[in-house]
Each structure stands twice: as structure tokens, then as C-alpha cells.
Amino acid sequence: MDQLTERLVEYALTLSYEDLPPEVVERTKCLILDTVGCALGAAPWQAPSVARALAADVQSRTPATVMVGGQQTSPDMAAFANGVMTRYLDYNDYCYTHGRGHPSDTIAPVLAAAEAARGDGKSVILGTVMAYDLLLGLSDSAAHGVSRGWGGASFQVIAAAAASRLFGLTRAQMRQAIGMAVSSHISLNRSRGGQISNWKAATSANDSRNGVFCALAAQQGMTGPVDVFAGKGGFFQNTGSQFELLPLGGQHGTPFRIMGAEIKGFPAGYPSHTGIEAALALHPQITSAADIKAIRLFTGPSGMGYASEAACWHPETRERADHSHPFLLALALTEGSVEVRHFEEGYYTHPEIVALMQKVTVQVGNEPEHQQAGPSMPTAVVEVDLHSGATLRMKKSFNAARAAYLRTDKGQAEKLRPMAEALLPTAQTDALFQSLRTLEQQRDIRDVLALTIAPQGKR
């Protein structure tokens, strides 16, 4: 018997809402609100529009809602469309531990499965906590063993397990769903390389779509391969991975991993945030981009992915720009902010910004602090040489106070209201935010999702 599958199934079947401490419930509601707000903000862009159009072509006897457009589609396609919107701006949450990534990518399949099963707010909270712990627990476990290739199968597994629980599948059916998900759907990290395409935002969403589909298939009686991780020809053998699952949240006193997730303050990849903050602190001392002779960023190893190839100095897409140290530093130094509008307006193509990007060098710093700050977010040191002969220097580490503020009602309103109210009337935005902040009291998640549907003319 595949022990990893059994551990995943056992956790998904036995975790209950009553197991969740109050602070876990509160953090979960905060993250769900942030995720929905980010999805609303991404709605006008091409990739989210394509995803909604694809979902509109599919009908289901157990429908789920696509946010913004209001299409009633199959649960797997709702997971896809809402997942693309969630991730597109790269503004949704992050967790910078061994289990790093965007765990809120799991919320779209949870919402879709819960709605299709006519679940309530508590079921969404439970499904979200479970999904976060499964995702981050698998990643944490893989980091302690041989983990080559692991990242490409995690979201399918989590979506299959969470949807199986929310659909009310049996233990045997959940095993089948996980077996199908792991054996058939593995994504490549290349989706985040080169001139990054729309598919960066769609990768986890498509993984989740496949996971939900596998749960639906298992519900109808479809069987999947057994011993899918450790068996001959299984995941471990084919990817070179080998690890044992660490205790998950609530087991043996283990904290729930959702408590390690943080809300983003910038619509950019999280390894860039300390560099952005350092550049923003230097901005008042810079009169003009023409005054800058050279820019140096010293970061940790985990930050080097945003300066690992030539495309980082010549971004041609929105997706590459938000994963480019040269662009984000040039933008912060000259504009004094990093906002969604800068990507909408194509600042990464502005001649002044392009010229400034060529003056940026990035390397791993020699000091231990470059790799040790907060929840493993790399400390950044930015140095700017001016033609006057002066050198400006600023160091920034993980900003715990800022992270805490972003979790407050005021901090969330500052981030999310402009995006929500670009689509929804103020009264509808108020009702949506209040419903999500009191999610455990909501009897039907469909009523909450109805509040995300934009008026005609803004869909």
C-alpha cells in the first residue's frame, strides 16, 4: 500500500472544522478575502478573459460560479477560470518557507467543489486550511529529502484531495482520485522561464482543474492507479524524488501551515519585495533617472531566479516584468511605487526604464543576513552609484510590521477596494467583504460567490 497516499487520504478525511483554532479561522478568512480581491483585480486582462470564455462553453448538472462573469460551469472549469484570475496579477499570497509558493492557488478549487456540493462557509474554511497544509506539508517534506521534480504535481494532488473531501467521496474513491491526478498531470517549471507567457498564471489553475476533474471521475466510479508514488513506474521512480511526509497541521502539536502565509504588498514575485522596498526608500534621493550611473542588488540565492536569464533585462510581457529584478528596481527608483497600473500601462517598455534596466547587476550577497530574514525572505541590499560620485545604499529585510498591517481590515481595504470597486458598486463590494469576513456564518457559499459577479457592461 502506498503510504504517502494513505497519509494524504487520512488527513483529508479526518480533519474537521472543530479542529481549527480561532486564529487559524481568522487567518484563513483574511487570505480568502485577499484571494477574491486579487481575482477581481485581474478580471480585465486577456488571460482571465480567455479563461472565463472557456468556462462559459461548459455546462454541468452540478454547476459552480465563475467570478466576475457569473458563468455557471462545471466545478473543474470554475476552478480553472477562478484560478487564473487569482494568480494573474501575481498579487496573491506567498509562503516563504521550505513549502514556498502561492498556496492561495488552492482556494479556487476549494470554492468550486464546495459550491457544487452546496457547501457552507465553514466547509470552505476547512477545505482551505486542509489544502494549504497538504500543499505546504508536501513541499516541506520534499525539501527534507530528494525532491527533484516534486513541484510539478502538488496542485493536482491537493485539488483532488480537497475536492474529494468536499464532494463527500469515500476513502477508496479519494485514493482513486489522487492516483489519477498524480499519474496523469505534471507541469514543468518552464512556464516561468524566458519571456513568460499567460500560462504562468494558468499552470496551477490547470493543475487544479485536473485535480477536481479526477475527483469528479472517481465520484462516478472511475478507478485510478494504485501505489502511484512509491510503486514501480510511479512518481518517485520517474522524478527521482524520495521523501516521507512530515506531520501535518494539527498532528502531534504541529502548527497549521496556513499561519505562515503572508499577504503581498506589491503585484510582483515575492523574492523581489525586499529589493523593491530598498529601492523605494532611495527614491526620494534621486532627482532623475539620468543621474543614475549603476545599480547593484545583493540578494539571497532564492532571489536569483529573477535575474537568471537575459529576458529579465528585456521583459516583453507583463508576466516577465513582475519576475524581473532589473525592471522592478528601475521602476521603484524612478516612480516611487510598484502598482498594477504600471503593468497595465506597459512601463517595462518605456525607453527610460529599459535603459535603466541595463545598469542593474544582481548577485548573491556575501553576508549571512542576505539569506536570513523573517520567514526565509532574502534580505536585499541596493546600491545606486550617481554620476555625481555619490553612492546611495539601503538594506531591507522581511518587514514583519508591514506584513501584519496588510492583514488588518484597513490594510486589506487599501489593497483590495480599488480593484473590487473598478468592477462592483460600492454597496456590493461592502456586502462581499462582509460576507467573507464572516464566512463561518454563511450557509451557502453560492450566495457569497454571487456577490463577485460584476454588473452587465463590466464583465
pLDDT exceeds 70 at position 346: yes
Check whether 351 has a pLDDT greater than 60.
yes
**pLDDT exceeds cutoff 60 at 142:** yes
d(CA 119, CA 226): 30
- In CATH, which of 3.30.1330.120, 3.30.450.70, 3.40.50.1240, 3.40.50.720 is domain 270-398? 3.30.1330.120
- Measured CA to CA, the distance from residue 454 to residue 129 in angstroms comes to 28
For residue 376, what pLDDT is reported?
Answer: 67
Taking alpha carbons only, the member of 12, 447, 445 closest to residue 215 is: 12
CA distances (Å), 3 to each of 239, 299, 453, in order? 18, 39, 43
Using alpha carbons, select from 186, 178, 231 the residue that is nearest to residue 9. 178
For the chain, residues classed under CATH 1.10.4100.10 are: 3-260
pLDDT tens for each residue of 156-184: 999 999 999 999 999 999 999 999 999 98
Predicted TM-score (pTM) of this structure: 0.95
Least reliable range by pLDDT among 103-107, 216-220, 323-327, 367-371: 367-371
Q: How far apart are CA 299 and CA 260, in angstroms?
A: 22
Interatomic CA distance for residues 250 and 352, integer angstroms = 52
Between strands 72-73 and 64-65, the pairing is antiparallel
C-beta separation of 136 from 257 below 8 A: yes
Least confident of 113-122, 163-172, 261-270, 369-378: 369-378
CATH 3.30.1330.120 spans which residues of the chain? 270-398
pLDDT higher than threshold 80 for residue 375: no
Q: Which of 20-24, 225-229, 275-279 has the lowest mean pLDDT?
A: 225-229
CATH classification code of 3-260: 1.10.4100.10
* All cell numbers assigned to 172: 477508496
